[in-house]
Each structure stands twice: as structure tokens, then as C-alpha cells.
Structure 1
Amino acid sequence: MKKQNLLFPLLFVLLVMMGCSSDDDITPNDPDDGDGQIDPPTAEYEPLNLENYYNGTGVMMQAFYWDVEPRHQWWEKLTEKVDDWADAGINRIWLPPASKGQSGGYSMGYDPSDYFDLGEYEQHGTVETRFGSRTELDALISAAHSNGIEVIADIVLNHNSGGGLEFNPYRGYETYTLFNEEFGNASGRFNRNYENFYPNSTSNWYDNSLFYPETNLDHNQEYVQNWLWAADYSVANYYKNEVGFDGWRFDYVLGFEPWVVKAWLDEVGGFSVAEYWDGNANNLINYIEETGSGVFDFATFYKLDEAFDRNDDLHSLTGDMVWQTYPDKAVTFTANHDTEKDENEDNFISYENKLKAYAFILTHPGYPTIFYSDYENADFKEELQQLIHINNTIATGDVEVLYVDEDEYIMKRARTASSPGLILYINTNGNTKIKEGIDTDWNQAMIMDYSGNIDYNPITDENGMVSLRAPANGYAIYSIMKQK
């Protein structure tokens, strides 16, 4: 991942004010002229060079939205963007399922038919997938790796689709469960029939509430395990060793047992995040502990939704979230391909609140994800780039919520030996907010808003206390300045 060097208007404002004299970016000195009082000498200040605090965390880009266009050109389009994303501080990109689905050139990949057809075989009316050809996928992965970006494969381990019709004796009627070179599996690798789906001769279990229950794979079968992850010729090993994927996003894990993900990771390793769609933090934590995989932090997503939209009350931001227990396994997000489609109102953070939600996840612990359509939105892009920059540099240290009410939320990331720390101030009120008596880690230090949203540069007192401001219906992210 490349490091950034972003500038915004405040960075060109050199302020001459009374402050503490120091060349130390983290802890300005508090000089004493001998009268027993800490006197702020005259000094010229400028913003910190955040590059000096690069922390190696990074951010993941969800590199698609539902029904991406133009069809058959998506891999090429992404290849053109990876340089910019790397410069912005993105260190992973999550691709949609790359294999051929039943819907052929219209498929978003969540109707998997041939796991080994990545745009190479004529079937379901097309050679290329919706996203392009295998050659174009290879070029994208190569470009990403050249920029220090890992590529994450979306893996769908159930609800197969697009097979041929056959009589299924375990259901007593015909099902689309025949996958071979003639029906939906032109690669000839991982051929399957009704015996490989629930129920079958070795298992009477089935759950008709699942997506496509008739083609829900039986992962307990050795044959299925070998083809998906256990054997050298498996999907997992092929995607990792031959295609070049670096990690996994597991789709709809509520449709199969946690041990499947654990077994996959034990075999091939790599970064992993599971789509366990549940807003209960404890359930998500239990899944982490059962599988060793990261999870999308739906608990945080729903707290953000409650705070900014459903309840319009920022007290929700102090609720239970996965990052509080497993910051290294919590993949935080504000939007994805599912929440942003079909005018979703139940699982959706509104346009006017998006950037405040991003400010939250990009200053708090966890591994943040940026949604493609948000980043490529001209109204959001510059602000998101600065938030990513802050995440990748000074967003470290212990979290302490300093103040919260219905329309104000103030959080501190503590100063450490290698970072100055920060204070996030979110305001959902229609007017500028001022909060007095905020206890910082900075004594007699000039501070500024590194988001660039408010032009305000107070000096903390000898005890680190200060009055902060937040713009109307917005946020500020404060940290210290340094002597010029």
C-alpha cells in the first residue's frame, strides 16, 4: 500500500499564536520562565505531517456495487483505479464472485454454477462473466499486487445455481442439481449431482428456509470438501496458488456450519471476513471464536444506523460492537452492495449521514471498508481520502468517550509513544456546537481539525483542557500542531 500526502486548505494556514515551544510533534514542551507559571512563548505553528505517523493499518475497498456497469468491462475499469486507490491508502480490494453464475453475462456471481470458470468457457450464453475475461481478471490482480494491494475473493459455498434437471429421489421430484460439462460446469472440475446436496443418502438434514435449499451443498461429504478446500486441486488452492487471490470474503455463512470456514482457513489461510448478517455483537464474537475468521461488524453498522437515522440519537454509538472486543477481526462498514440496492430503507445509512458514519469507523478501532459508490462519488471522495489518511496514521491509541448526548459525540484516541492521538467530535445538530471543558492529552498545545471541516485552532491549558467546536451536522477530528 502506498502512503499518502494529502493537503487541504487548512494546511496552508500558518498561525502565529501564543503556544508552547517545541520541535517534538507529539508532546510540546511547557516552558517556565522562572516565575512559577507556565508561560506560552510566541511561536509559529503548522499542521503535523501525518506521513510521520503511518501505522500500517490500511482500509479495504469493496470494489463493486449491485449490477455494475459496463458489463464485461468491470475488471478493466478497476485496473484503471488501483493506482489511485493505493495512493489513497487502500491495502485490500474485495471483488465480487469471479466465477460464472447461472445468469451468465448478467450474473453478479452469487448464483455460482462453475467455480472454475473465471471467464474462460462458453456457457450460460457467454464466455466472459459480467465482469470480464480471465485474462482481464489476471491483469487486475497483477496491477493490484504491483501497488501493494491484496485481492479478496468473494466465496459462495452454498446455493449453487444453473445445473441440469434430474430426478432427485430424496425430494421425490426433479431438481436442478446436475452439474457437468453439459450442464453448468463446462470446466469439468467439481462435477456434482443430487447426492452432493441436502438431503442425500448420507444425510436427511435440510432447511427449506435457506436460499435455494435444493442446491445447498453438503459440506460434510469428503468429495465436496476435497473440491472446495481440502485437496490440492480444490477451489481454495486454485484461487490462491494459480489465480493469485490473497484472502476471502465468505458469503451468507448463516447457510452452513462455522467449521466449514475454519477448515478452509486451516487449509489455505489468508485474510478472511464472513458475512454473518446479525446485529448482535455477542453472536458475531462467538462466530469469530469458532472459526478464527474476521466478520463484518453488523453490530456497528446497526448502531450507526440507529444513531444517525432510525433513532436520531448518538447514545447508540456507545452500544455493544465487535471492534470493542476483537478490533483485529471486526471489519467495519457503512454500506455494501446489499444495503445500497432496491432503495433499502431498513438497512441503510442515509446520504446526508454517510460521511459522519465514515468518520466514526475511520477513527475507531476495527478494519474499515469503503464502498465503491461512496468513494467514487465526487461529493464524498476528497473527504473520504482525508479520513482514510487519518485512519492510516493517527487513529491509534485507547478509545475513551468523553461526552455523548442526543446530537453530540466526542471520542478520544489516546496519545501513545508513536502517535499524537486524536479527538473526534460529531454533531448532528443544525447549528455549530461548542463543548467546553474537554480533557485532552495535550497540555498547552495548539490543536486543529485535521478533517478540514472547521477553521478553529484553540490552545489547551496547562491541564490539557480545551473548548472544542463541531460544524453543523458534521464532524471535526482534532490533533496537535507542531512548531514551524
Structure 2
Amino acid sequence: MLSIAAINPKFNTMILFSNRNAWLYLTFLFIGLNACSSEMPLEEPQATEVANQRLSPVPASGTVMMQAFYWDVPAGGNWWEEVSTKIPSWNHAGISSIWLPPFSKAQNGPYSMGYDPMDYFDLGEFNQMGSVETRFGSKNELLNLINTAHTYNIEVIADIVINHNSGGNLEQNIFTGTNTWTNFTPASGKFNRTMYDFHPNDQHTHDWGVFGGYPDLCHHKTYVQDWLWKTDYSVANFYKTIGVDGWRFDYVKGFEPWVVKDWIHHNGGFAVGENWDGNAETLEWWANEANASAFDFACYYAMNDAFDGNDLNKLNSDMLWKRNAYKAVTFVTNHDTDEIWNKNLAYAYILTHEGYPCIFYSDYEEWLDKNKLNNLIWIHNNLATGNTSILYTDNDEYVARRNGYGSAPGLVVYLNNADFWQERWIETNWSNTAIKDYSGHSAWMPTTQSGKWVKIQAPPKSYSIWSIK
């Protein structure tokens, strides 16, 4: 048995339970009853109704994140208003933060997804790059969205693109001997840039990475640092004044991790970096150097191999959340990559394990069963506590236990990738205690033995999640 000691009170232990009603934590003891009988027939049970309401407002730091966009959301300036209408239901489901796309004016104006930034201070109020509004809407609509999110105690995470810029004018570049698109005179009148602010320049020729041939910002320049994060007139401080609570840093392979660390030092807030690397050790190194969280690509690729490759032993692989759950943002898909087909098992995995899970907008609103996702969010926010012990794996079975924290009970999750019902004896956190499947997939309500053992089951290509009744 592999035990992973990484209790995460910020994201899904102590904070989550500080405001919960006491009834959730009571353990009902039944002395003398055996666990689920081995003679119980293995047959498809009737689904049971599972409570799916929040007991109290979820704290606004580190519970479940919603990526509130997908690639090529409808153009026309209505996206901020669309997302605003979702906030009440997302709050009711247990979402505690929303990650918004880059919201400043970009080169492609009303058609841009924001990853080609031109004017960081134009949030949809200046007539440049072919429009006043951005693809997503106006500045006032953005501010209304942020205020609505805060009304419901939901944090706003801004997508920050600071590796590269786009939309500048041509200038004769003395460092390249050619004409380059490095002369930026944004309509906001803030953060004008020239060849001296990009690579190569009079300070050095390059940094860690260039993206798409765009002009590559030089973060060693004091002028660039001051305008991006160090001063009261910086981009970071401007975003803070409109209500931004945290940061998602795009393409962090393009600049050194000290940039993110210094940004957080001057401005605070939760931060997560997109370090697109499947090596858990590399992710941990970057997160430590940047003093930030990282998207757990190691977990993502392991889930793809496990669920789509029909080998759940792959879930024994090294992942960032196993090394440091405080630093791991887990996810099933995002706007850039969508490889996992068996998403139901993947969401059951990230919403019962340690780390800070992120749900993709299209999965939640369009592609998957919203009620099942809401149920998993409820389970995550109310039951998924303590460190993790992996109890059993084979090609199509995976069983893990969250060991609870304080009075919080923990859970057992059983993932079944086979085409038929399966059952297994496992060791729980509880002796002589009635338990049930909070996913509603199994009607069994067994009682654990005095030695904490019990038999549980899981439906084909699905999961069950067990905790105290």
C-alpha cells in the first residue's frame, strides 16, 4: 500500500470544514454488525438520491476552480455578461473561484482570445485594434462580472500573459539590424514599449523562451518590471484595483520563475503557472522557485494513460499533488488540450484527491452530466479531507482512501474502468460504522467490521465514493 502524506488544509481540509454543520461529522456506531456480506449478490443496484446542496458558503480560497471560458468562445462582446449569469448557480454548486481569459485589448481586437496582448490597460474602453470592446465585452461588463463574483464570495483569477506582446508598430531595430514590430503606443497612454524592452536588447540577447515569433518581453529591464508588477501604476496593481484576487500565468516556460515570485511578493494573491511539463519533479521545482502553484500536467497525463489506456496502475505514477498538494492545481481538460475521453472517471479522481481541482467550462455546461459534477463538487467540499492512501490498483480497478482530518470523516473512492460491476474488500477509516455511496451509484449501505474492513462495489465505467452514513 502506498501512503501519501500531504495534508492540504488550505485547499480541502481545515478551511473547508470550518463552517460546516456538525451533523456531517457525526459517526454512527453499530456494534456487532458485520461488513457487507460476501453472500450479497453482485447486481446492479438502484441509484439512491444524494443530497447536492451546499451547507454554507464555501470560503473564497482554494476549493474548486472553474475555468470560465473555452477556446473561441462566441465573439461579439457578450461573454462577460454570459459568465455573470452563471455565477449564482456556480456558487450554489460549490465553486469558489473563476479563472477568466486575458481581458486586456490584444492585436486581433474583437476576435482575439487575449493571448496576443497589446494594451494591458485597455479592458474594453479604447477604440484601437479594430474595436472598443474586447471579444468578451466592455470594461463596465467586466467590472460587473467581478463584482457579481465577489457578491457570491467567488474569487477572480486573471490570466496573465507577460512573455510576449503583439500589435506594435514597425521600427528600425538597432539590435537586430531589421525592422521589428516592437514600437508600442497603446491608446491608454500607459506602458509604451520599444526595441529596448524586448529581446535582443542592450542588456542581453534572450531569456528562456520565445512564443510564436511574437516580440519577447525582457523581464530584466527595470522599466518592464515597474510597468508590469513593481509600482503603484503597474499592470498588477491596476488589476488589483478592479478586484482581481489571483493570477494564472501563461507560458511560464518563457521566463524565469523569479518573475512570478517577485510579482507575488509585490502584489500577493493566489498564483498558478502553466508549466506544460509532464514531469512531476520539474513541476515541483518550478512551483518552489516561483513560490506559486502549478497545473499538475503529470497528473493529467497519468489520468490519460490510466483511463483511456485501460491501465489504472498508471495512477501510481509520480504527480505534483503527491509531492506537494499545496502547489498542485489538478485538471481534466482546458482550452489548450483535451485528450482524456473517460472524463467521468477523471473528474471523480481529481475531486476526491488532494490538490486544487479545476473544472472546464464546456465539460460542466455542455458536455457532461452537470448533476454528477455537482455531486462530485459537494463530495470534494465536504468529505475529501486528509492525506491519501492508495489501497489497490490493477488494470481496471483503483481504490484510494482519504484519511480524514480532525472530525472530518474522509472517504473511500472506487474507480472501475471495466465493463461490468466489481466489488472489493477494503480497509476504511471507521470501525463498526454504517457507510454509504455518496455518488448514488450503489444502493449498498454496509457496516464496517470492528477491524475497519468492508466490501464495496462500483458500477461499470464509473465510480463509487463511500463515507459515513
The TM-score with structure 1 as length reference comes to 0.86
Alignment match, 1:8: none
Q: Report the Cα offset of residue 479 of structure 1.
A: 1.0
Alignment match, 1:403: 392
Between the aligned partners of 1:59 and 1:179, the Cα distance in structure 2 is 38
Give the number of the structure with larger relative contact order, counting CA–CA contacts within 8 Å between residues 6 or more apart. 2
**Once superposed, which parts of structure 1, at least 4 consecutive aligned residues long, lie more than 4 Å away?**
46-57
**Conservation of the 8 A alpha-carbon contact between 1:55 and 1:394:** no
SS in 1 for 2:294: strand
Letter in 2 for 1:322: L
CA RMSD of aligned residues (A): 2.3
Letter in 1 for 2:80: W
Letter in 2 for 1:232: D
Q: Report the Cα offset of residue 379 of structure 1.
A: 3.7
* Structure 1 position 268 matched with structure 2 position 267: yes
Letter in 2 for 1:244: G
Which residue among 177, 180, 186 is the counterpart of 2:182? 177
Alignment match, 1:257: 256
Q: Report the Cα offset of residue 454 of structure 1.
A: 2.1
Count the aligned residue pairs: 434
Alignment match, 2:202: 201
Q: Deviations over 1:255-291 (max 9, x none)?
A: 0111111111110010100001101000111111111
Matches within 5 A, 1:20-59: 25-31=25-31, 38=32, 56=59, 57-59=62-64
* Structure 1 position 414 matched with structure 2 position 413: no
Alignment match, 1:475: 463
Alignment match, 1:143: 148
The TM-score with structure 2 as length reference comes to 0.88
**Conservation of the 8 A alpha-carbon contact between 1:54 and 1:393:** no
Which residue among 72, 81, 98 is the counterpart of 1:67? 72
SS in 2 for 1:320: coil
Between the aligned partners of 2:311 and 2:24, the Cα distance in structure 1 is 39
Gaps of 5+ in 1: 5-22, 32-37, 41-45, 341-347
Q: Report the Cα offset of residue 378 of structure 1.
A: 6.2
SS in 1 for 2:306: helix
**Range moving further from structure 2, 229-238 or 440-449:** 440-449
Alignment match, 1:35: none
Between the aligned partners of 1:47 and 1:299, the Cα distance in structure 2 is 32
Identity across aligned pairs (percent)? Answer: 50
Between the aligned partners of 1:204 and 1:39, the Cα distance in structure 2 is 73
* Structure 1 position 127 matched with structure 2 position 132: yes
**Conservation of the 8 A alpha-carbon contact between 2:414 and 2:465:** yes
Which residue among 330, 345, 349 is the counterpart of 1:356? 345
Q: Deviations over 1:7-55 (max 9, x none)?
A: xxxxxxxxxxxxxxxx995433354xxxxxx368xxxxx9899967998
SS in 1 for 2:146: helix
Larger Rg over CA atoms: 1
Letter in 1 for 2:124: G
**Conservation of the 8 A alpha-carbon contact between 1:394 and 1:419:** yes
Q: Report the Cα offset of residue 455 of structure 1.
A: 2.0
Which residue among 101, 105, 117 is the counterpart of 1:96? 101
Q: Deviations over 1:376-427 (max 9, x none)?
A: 0264211000100111011002211111101000001114432122100000
SS in 2 for 1:97: coil
**Conservation of the 8 A alpha-carbon contact between 1:88 and 1:385:** yes
Shift of the 273–30 alpha-carbon distance from structure 1 to 2, 3 Å rule, reads: same
Matches within 5 A, 1:299-378: 299-309=298-308, 311-340=309-338, 348-350=339-341, 353-377=342-366
Alignment match, 2:416: 427
Between the aligned partners of 1:420 and 1:47, the Cα distance in structure 2 is 17
Q: Deviations over 1:427-453 (max 9, x none)?
A: 000001111x31112222222110112
SS in 1 for 2:238: helix
